[in-house]
Amino acid sequence: MSGFAVVGTGTGVGKTVVTAGLVGWLRAAGREALAVKPAQTGYPPDDDAGYVADACGTDAAATCLRRLEPALAPEVAADVADVELSYAALREGVETAVAGADPGVVEGIGGLRVPLADGREVLDLVADLELPVVVVADSGLGTLNHSALTVQAARERGLTVSGVVLNRYEGATLAERTNPDVLAEMVDAPVHTLPPLELTTPADAVTGVRAHLPADVFPDGYGPD
């Protein structure tokens, strides 16, 4: 598969901002990158694919396979809304989208263990597609446990973890200042820090990510060069 996944340690850690930044960075370099959201819950108002498209200035930058109104894990949201949600269909749709992109960037839903459909989780989808992953996490107190467990879960399924992005990093607390080095030792992977971005418009996500993250945040072979 020509792509990678951006996964989080949980909900609200900044996966969409990082995804938008990486996809926009690639498209600015002439790549036909595409953000792929397998399922969006809490829609409306939540629309991660729409945010990425706005950030990149084109609908060609993002797609979402299914949108569900309840703000719950996809499998739970489908049950509450009494609609069918098929894991096989989601997997096939993501495979098709990623195969036609350069590269496809699959954005997770919540954390890796979030129920997706038919008893399968987000982790199952990423593992079935054998995508390398970029992990996005909070930068403050508590992130060591959440991040290390996420990396462990991915590696136990044979996935390559290219690195961790500690989002909204200010270095304002002792925990924040020590977390990057400690986490890098714990997970034996690069740990990058991304400061709080001034997101006046979605396009600011692209500018901010390019300004503050190194090019090696991308998994090997998928960078803008």
CA distance 32 to 140: 34
CA distance 189 to 87: 31
Cis peptide bond N-terminal to 132, omega within 30: no
Nearest to 8 by CA among 135, 116, 104: 135
Instruction: Examine the residue annotation and report whether 15 is marked as an active-site residue of this protein.
Output: no
Nearest to 108 by CA among 127, 86, 88, 89: 127
Contacts of 209 (CB under 8 A, 6+ apart): 17, 18, 20, 21, 22, 24, 25, 194, 197
The enclosing H or E element of 144 equals: helix 143-156
Tokens representing 45? Answer: 């108002």
Contacts of 67 (CB under 8 A, 6+ apart): 39, 40, 41, 43, 47
Choosing from 37, 66, 91, 192, the catalytic residue is 37
CA distance 225 to 222: 8
Strands 161-167 and 191-194: parallel
Residues catalogued as catalytic: 37
